[in-house]
Amino acid sequence: MKKLFDDLSYEVSKKTTVKYSTSFSLGILALKPSIRPAIYAIYGFVRLADEIVDSFHDFDKKTLLYRLKNETDVALKEGISLNPILQSFQDTVCKYQIDKILIDQFLHSMEMDLEKVDYNSDLYKEYIYGSAEVVGLMCLQVFTNGDKEKYQELKPFAMKLGSAFQKVNFLRDLNEDYKVLGRTYFPNIDMNVFDNRVKKMIEKEIEIEFKEALLGIKMLPPTSKFGVYLAYRYYLSLFRKIKNTAAENILQERIRIPNAQKINLMMRSYVRYKIAVLE
């Protein structure tokens, strides 16, 4: 029965999520069970592409990413893939009518990671849109489940949240991105003089996006509100830890939230959610 293969495919995407991200796994567990498989499928697909450009240093990344892009197109066209992650992803795209343009824009940003790009403001915005904001929009299409009016209403907030998450990631991963991968995403910044003044400028931008995103979280359907709020609280906690870390230390270590603290954060966030105090 094909259902066995479909179930297996979603299970592979779930295991991929759990293996790579404790924080997102907790966030997905806070969603209603009916939509969890779709979000696992989206994360699995995004992680697959991300691993190609970030980790497969001993292989031809460009060829691998092109192959993934082609196999994704074929899977979406034919409605099936022998790659379990692509199978669950194409099934989710079909079920929730996820816009193909979002997928193409995401893969375009992954292609940008294959080259040494000198990021000006426009390219910076283009990369963040494709690497993070469109992923939020894919998830939003699952959350709104065909309600186009609700999707359009929440779209700007989902984009702000995705952007804030990505910029926090940039700060968290600054050391590895710059020293190992040779990437610097923030525009008009000389990494040789990255200091607290520069860091505070970036943080101010992120703070504004977090505040705007929270307005949209409060308007999400009950099936997804707590899960997204939990992810928001996790990233806000990570952001605050980064803010309290000196710029020179950001370039020396990767800031993390311990798993025990994540569990504690989940419980406190649930209390806030139940008493309707989302902040």
Q: 146: left (phi > 0), else alpha (psi -120 to 50), else beta?
A: left
H helix and E strand count, the chain:
14, 0
Q: Which residue has the tokens 């406190």?
A: 268
Scanning 21-120, the segments in alpha helix (DSSP H) are 22-29, 36-55, 61-78, 84-96, 100-112
* Distance set, CA 149 to CA 155, 157, 158, 231 (Å): 10, 14, 14, 24
Domain total in the chain: 1
φ, ψ (nearest 5 deg) of residue 180? -100, -50
Q: Is residue 270 part of a domain?
A: yes
Q: What is the DSSP letter of 31?
A: S
**Residue 201 CB neighbour total at 10 angstroms:** 11
Within a domain: residue 69? yes
What's the pTM?
0.93
The C-alpha atoms of residue 225 and residue 217 are separated, in whole angstroms, by: 6
CA distance linking residue 73 with residue 25, whole number of Å: 27
Residue 70 within a domain: yes
- The whole-number pLDDT of residue 141 equals 97
Please classify residue 219 by burial: count the beta carbons closer than 10 Å to its beta carbon, then call 0-12 exposed, 13-18 middle and 19+ buried. Answer: exposed
Considering the domain boundaries, does residue 279 fall inside one? no
Whichever domain contains 62, its CATH number is 1.10.600.10
- Report the distance separating Cα 143 and Cα 222, nearest Å: 9
**Contact (CB, 8 A) for 161 and 136:** yes
Q: Let me know if 80 is exposed, middle or buried by CB neighbors in 10 A (0-12, 13-18, 19+).
A: middle
What's residue 219's pLDDT?
Answer: 95
Host domain of residue 51: 2-274
| 279 residues of the chain, pLDDT tens digit each | 789 999 999 999 999 999 998 888 888 999 999 999 999 999 999 999 999 999 999 999 999 999 999 999 999 999 999 999 999 999 999 999 999 999 999 999 999 999 887 788 888 899 999 999 999 999 999 999 999 999 999 999 999 999 999 999 988 888 887 767 777 788 877 777 788 888 898 999 999 999 999 999 999 999 999 999 999 999 999 999 999 999 888 888 888 888 778 778 777 876 777 676 676
Spell out the residues 6+ positions from residue 169 whose beta carbon is closer than 8 angstroms to its own.
132
